[in-house]
Each structure stands twice: as structure tokens, then as C-alpha cells.
Amino acid sequence: MGIKKGQVVQLSIESTAFKGKGVARYEGQAVFIPNTAPGDVVEARIIKKKKKYLEAKVLTTIKPSSLRQQPVCSHANVCGGCTWQHIPYEEQLKFKEQHVRDLIERIAGLPADIVKPIIGCENDLYYRNKMEYSFGTRRWLTEKEIRSDEYVDDEAFAAGLHAPGRYDKILNLKECHLQDKISFRILDFVRNYCVTNNIPAFDTYHKKGFIRHLVVRNSYYTGDLMVNIVTFEDQPDIMEILAGSLINEFPEITTIVNNINDQHNPTATGRYENILFGPGYITDRIGRHTFKIDANAFFQTNTKQAEVLYNVARLYCDGTKNRHLFDLYCGVGTLSLYMADAFDKVTGIELVDIAIQNARYNSKENNVHNVDFVLGDMKDTFNDKFLVDCGQPDCIITDPPRSGMHPDVVEQLSKLEVPRLVYVSCNPSTMARDLLTLKNFYDIKEIQPVDMFPQTYHIEAVAKCNRKK
């Protein structure tokens, strides 16, 4: 009859999958199970049945893996922020490197040995410079509460991170070890302040309430600290008093902003913004350049490791004529400026208007005069007219979002006879997909994985591609 949904089975975890889940096999089918480690023997319930695989949830660990360690955080098994705290960092690196090799071989059809040994991160905790916390009216229940025979009310003011796969449930954090310790202290203060002063959280079902998100950004090099409070309404009286209380409690704060997102979308980006304290931005460095970072601007989340990533990209650009570099998906211009002294001219392209404004400001403030930034959607802007206006590049760096490059961009890159293409990716699976097409026009010489996000399954990779003769 075959396995059924809801069936309880015993499984031995053999390896890990790209999204951090353990992999077992049952009756010839792959079974994906979160919060496991290779070597675990578990009793699990089948919760999803697909044509090619199964998904399961651990009920009991019969025999723990020798790889296991005690997680630092009490939320490690239920929080979506960290997926691998129960696995030593050295082992995490091995798994990530193997994931990149598997994707490059399976999706791109390239030999796995072009993937170089992974570059690890110096700090495997407290490495993030940004945390986005959410507020809600429904909290995620603990495992004990879920298994209780008695009714447990989940309606309560909650502040923390979304439970995995749930936009409506908030894991009410009691600790977090991804950003500087002051980050969680600020979250805890704002949560207690709102409860004490009857400030309601935003209700995603009824589309009402006030506080939606708290975003904390800190600078690695300058010590700047931003608090961005995202609300559903513009209520200056409430926000001014809250801002004053934050400054009294945390004199380290250098700026406080209030983003107002009065739309029904769940993002932490406001339709408009009020500056409550300080300049409304922070500054940080990558390499020898200083960057202005607004509340909604993109900046590499791991500042120190971004320099390692950029050094790899710079190394992969060597050997070209170094006259003109295109930086596709350039963000606030960090990589463009990092590469500027190695080229006669750099042209950056970016979709987000505030990012382009920041990029132009950053180039001016750093006295970099050979960089130009163009606002536009890559799939529409990066065309023949753009090449006529901006000139032909000798080298291209592309650093697309997790979804990878739009097919139109890949096609344009295929047509361009640019000697060197350097592909920086935060999602090796979509990079492998794009390389499947690009390999018809480029020799993919090597791929360097760089770990930017310890304790998670996420991994960056940089590909060096030479145009075929």
C-alpha cells in the first residue's frame, strides 16, 4: 500500500539537504526532516507526501548523532533564524561546501571539482549587522503547549521572529544570538514598553493595530546604532515618547526612524519615513570606503565577511584589461566602490531608487569619481541602447537577488562578448540554473563558496567565468 501521511516511522539521518533539513530514506524515497543531524536515529511522523519525496517531523530522537552539540539558544529547534545550532560550525562548513558541489553538478551539469574549499566566518555568533523583528497578536505555542490536552490561548502580544512557514504566528523571543547583544535588549524593551502602555501590535487578520516591526542596524566599524520602528499608522505623539524612552535606556543609539507601512503587505519597508532622532542613517566601512546606510537600503548583513567575499570577486576580475566594469544589481555601491581603483570606469545598475541615491552619495563622500550609477530594472535597462550609452565593458560582476537573474539578463550576457564574468550569488541553486545557460558561452573556471551566515543553511558563492574563444 505504500507509506501514508500521518504514518510514524523510524528513520536514520544520512546527510543534509540544501535548506538545512536532514535526509533519510524510507522504502526507496527521500525523506526530509528538520532539526536533525547526520547519524541521528529518530521516530518521525510523515507530514507531507510528494511524488518524489516525503517530509517528516521528529517525534522522538532514539539515538542522537555523535555530531550533535547543545545549541546556544533555547529557541534553536523552533526558530527560523537558526537551523543548525545543534551542529558544530566546522561540520556546518563541510555540509555547505558539499551542497554547492551537488548543485553545480546536478543543476549546472558542471564538474563538482571546480568548487574550491569553503571560506569560513571568523565569528559564528553575533555576526549580523541587521535584525528585523516582527510584532503580532498571535504567538507560536511551545511544544509542551501544542501537546497539552488542555486548550491553550495563542492570542497575546508577541515580538520576535515569524515561526517557520507562518506569516501570522510570532515566536515570542526570549533571547537571540545573531546580532550584537544590545539588539535583543532593545527588542525586549520595546515589547515591555508596548505592553505596559497598551500599544497594540498589528493584527494580520483584521488589518488593524499599531506596531509592526522593529529593525535594529549596527555598524561594525563606526559604532553607529539605528532603531527603525515600523508602524501601521503615523502617530507622532506615541513615537516621540517611545523614542525618548529608548534614548534614555540605550545611549548607544545614534538614530531612530519611524517607517509607516499603512498598506496590507507584510514588509518592514514604510510608504514614508519620519526621523525621530539623529541623522536618519548610519555609516559603516567595507575596505577603505565609508557607506551611508538608510533604514531601507540594502547593505551586506555580515560586514566583516563581506570584505572576504569582495576580495574573492576582486581576485576573479584580475587578468582582464580593467578598463570598464559593469556591476549589475549594485545596491548602495559597496562592490562598485571596492572595485573602483582596479578599473578606469565602473558602471553600477540597480532597481531601488534609495539604493542608487545612497550609492551616488557614497561615491561622492569617498571621492571616487570614476563610478557612475544607473537606476533601472535589470531586465529592461540592460539592453543594446544601454551599451551604446555607457560603452562596452571588459568585465562584468553580477550579484543578483536570491531568485537569480531574469532570463532576459542571462540572454543579454550570453550575447555580449565580455572577456570575464564574475557571478556573486547568495543562492547557489539559482546560480547553477543560470550557469547552465552561460556555460555555452563561458568557461566556468572555478567557484568559491564563502560562508556569510553561520548557524543557517545559507551560503554565498562566487563563480569565475571566462568567455569562450
According to the model, what pLDDT value does residue 381 have? 84
Q: Of 286, 301, 335, which residue constitutes the final position of a domain?
A: 286
pLDDT at 256: 98
- DSSP, residue by residue, 185-247: HHHHHHHHHHHHTT-PBPBTTTTB-SEEEEEEEE-TTT--EEEEEEESS--HHHHHHHHHHHH
pLDDT at 382 over 70: yes
Residue 301 reports pLDDT greater than 60:
yes
Do 268 and 411 reside in the same domain of the chain? no
For residues 227 and 206, membership in a common domain is answered with yes
Look at residues 286, 315, 348 and tell me which one is the last residue of a structural domain: 286
* pLDDT tens-digit readout, 408-454: 899 989 888 899 999 999 999 999 999 999 999 999 999 999 999 99
Quick check: 387 pLDDT over 90?
no
Q: Are residues 344 and 448 located together in one domain of the fold?
A: yes
Grid coordinates 507509506 are at which residue? 3
Q: Do 209 and 247 have their domain in common?
A: yes
Cβ atoms of 229 and 191 closer than 8 Å: no
Dig out the grid coordinates for 59 from the structure: 517525534
Q: Rounded mean pLDDT of 96-121?
A: 97
pTM, 2 dp: 0.89
Average per-residue pLDDT for the chain: 92
- Whether residues 295 and 265 share a domain: the answer is no
SS (H, E, C) 349-403: EECCHHHHHHHHHHHHHCCCCCEEEEECCHHHHCCHHHHHHHCCCCEEEECCCCC
Go through 62-73 and write b for each residue having 16 or more CB atoms within 10 A of its CB, e for each that does not. Answer: eeebebbeebeb
For 32, residues 6+ apart whose C-beta sits below 8 A from its C-beta are 17, 19, 21, 22, 23, 53, 54, 55, 56
Helix (H, G, I), strand (E, B) or coil at 174: coil
CATH number for the domain that contains residue 27: 2.40.50.140
For the segment 304-340, what is each residue's pLDDT rounded down to a tens digit?
Answer: 999 999 999 999 998 777 799 999 999 889 999 999 9
Confidence of residue 134 (pLDDT cuts 50, 70, 90): very high
Q: Residue 151 has what pLDDT?
A: 55
CA dist list (Å): 278 to 259, 319, 388:
15, 45, 43
Q: What residues contact residue 367 under an 8 Å CB cut-off, 6+ apart?
A: none
Residue 244: give its domain's CATH number. Answer: 2.40.50.1070
Q: Which residue from 268, 13, 265 is spatially nearest to 133, judged by alpha carbons?
A: 268
Mean pLDDT of 140-152: 60
Buried b / exposed e across 16-32, counting CB within 10 Å, b at 16+? Answer: bbbebbbbbebeeebbb
Would residue 81 count as lying in a domain?
no
Indicate whether 316 belongs to any domain.
yes
Reduce the DSSP state of residue 412 to 3 states and report it: helix
Parent domain of 230:
130-286
pLDDT at 3: 85
Whether 82 maps to a domain, the answer reads: no
The C-alpha atoms of residue 400 and residue 387 are separated, in whole angstroms, by: 19
pLDDT band at residue 6 using 50, 70 and 90 as cut-offs: very high
Residue 148 has pLDDT above 70, yes or no: no
- Spacing of C-alpha 33 from chain mean position: 22
Mean pLDDT score, 172-179: 94
Q: What is the pLDDT of residues 60-83, one digit of tens each?
A: 999 999 999 999 999 988 887 888
* Cβ contacts of 401-408, under 8 Å, gap ≥ 24: 401/329, 401/426, 402/426, 402/427, 402/430, 403/427, 403/430, 404/430, 404/431, 404/433, 404/434, 405/328, 405/378, 405/430, 405/434, 406/378, 406/379, 408/379, 408/382
Tell me how far apart the terminal alpha carbons of the chain are, to the nearest angstrom.
56
Comparing CA positions, the residue from 288, 313, 342 lying closest to residue 119 is 313
Residue 304 and residue 220 share a domain: no
Report d(CA 408, CA 352) in Å as an integer.
Answer: 19
Q: Are residues 323 and 461 in the same domain?
A: yes
Average pLDDT over residues 367-381: 91
Q: What is the pLDDT of residue 144?
A: 63
One domain, residues 263 and 211: yes
Question: Among residues 286, 309, 342, which one ends one of the domains?
Answer: 286
User: 55 near 30, Cβ under 8 Å?
Assistant: no
> What CATH number does the domain containing 403 carry?
3.40.50.150
Domain check: are 297 and 282 in the same one? no
Residue 147 lies in a domain: yes
Q: How many domains does the chain have?
A: 3
- Active site amino acids: 426
Residue 76 lies in a domain: no
Residue 136 lies in a domain: yes
Handedness of CA 177, 183, 187, 192 (dihedral sign): positive
Is residue 206 included in any domain, yes or no? yes
Both 275 and 339 in one domain: the answer is: no
Answer whether residue 62 is part of any domain.
yes
pLDDT at site 153: 56
Looking at the structure, do residues 183 and 138 belong to the same domain, yes or no?
yes
If asked whether residues 104 and 150 sit together in one domain, one would say no
* pLDDT at 384 (0 to 100): 82
What average pLDDT does this structure show over 363-388? 89
Region 353-380: mean pLDDT is 91
Residue 43 has pLDDT above 80, yes or no: yes
Count of C-beta atoms within a 10 Å radius of residue 255: 19
